[in-house]
């Protein structure tokens, strides 16, 4: 009986994940406001009741879509921090992950957030702020010990990083910029990093950037 329950649970989890990932990609590309459960049901080839079994309302599905990204980000950052890489390599990996993640979101998603779900955006903003404060400080401390970062106060560096990220990754800013989301992230971090890196750190950062071209 236990084995049967496990199979049923795994099947249900698989079905839930399939619905979530499909809706997630669609919301991020096309926005969520005009997309209906009927539409998702037709495109997925599943009944509306199946969707409602896992997500009672469309609002639940929209929120779970973004919470899933947050969980993935938290897990990835934890993996990066546990490696033996130097501080710049760790920050660069986090930067690349952030760039790829932000690139998934199209203008319609940010527009819908700004107009129809401002409270959800506030939740997202608070989640990412906590994530940044919890983890960037560890990398900055490591970089100072490795003589890769200038000996500026850590709390000031973290505040500048977090404030800059919150300023550029928000609906109003991104909707009015001509650059791609990835370009915006790289320009911003390039400016910030070059302001705190030692000469040794700048060489490592330049090498990492050249490998990505």
User: Which pLDDT score, from 0 to 100, does residue 16 have?
Assistant: 94
The secondary element (H helix, E strand) that includes residue 139 is helix 118-145
Is 0.85 surpassed by the pTM of this model? no
Domain-wise residue ranges, the chain = 2-211
The predicted pLDDT at position 77 comes to 93
Residues of the chain scoring pLDDT < 50: 2, 4-8
DSSP letter assigned to residue 33: T
Q: Which CATH architecture has domain 2-211?
A: Orthogonal Bundle (1.10)
- The DSSP secondary-structure symbol of 111 reads H
| Residues 6 or more apart in contact with residue 106 via CB below 8 angstroms | 28, 29, 30, 31
Provide φ and ψ at 45, rounded to 5°.
75, 30
């Amino acid at each position: 009986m236990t084995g049967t329950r496990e199979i049923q649970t795994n099947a249900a989890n698989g079905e839930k994940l399939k619905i979530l990932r499909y809706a997630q990609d669609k919301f991020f590309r096309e926005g969520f406001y005009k997309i209906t459960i009927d539409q998702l049901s037709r495109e997925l080839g599943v009944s509306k009741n199946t969707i409602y079994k896992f997500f009672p309302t469309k609002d639940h599905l929209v929120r779970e879509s973004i919470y899933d990204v947050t969980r993935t980000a938290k897990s990835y950052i934890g993996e990066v921090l546990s490696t033996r890489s130097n501080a710049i390599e760790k920050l660069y990996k986090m930067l690349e992950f952030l760039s790829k993640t932000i690139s998934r979101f199209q203008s319609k998603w940010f527009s819908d957030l700004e107009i129809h779900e401002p409270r959800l955006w506030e939740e997202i903003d608070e989640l990412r702020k906590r994530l940044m404060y919890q983890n960037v400080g560890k990398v900055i401390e490591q970089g100072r010990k490795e003589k890769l970062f200038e000996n500026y106060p850590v709390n000031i560096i973290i505040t500048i990083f977090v404030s800059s990220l919150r300023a550029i990754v928000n609906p109003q800013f991104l909707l009015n910029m001509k650059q791609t989301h990835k370009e915006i992230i790289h320009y911003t971090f390039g400016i910030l990093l070059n302001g705190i890196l030692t000469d040794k750190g700048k060489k490592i950062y330049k090498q990492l950037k050249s490998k990505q071209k």
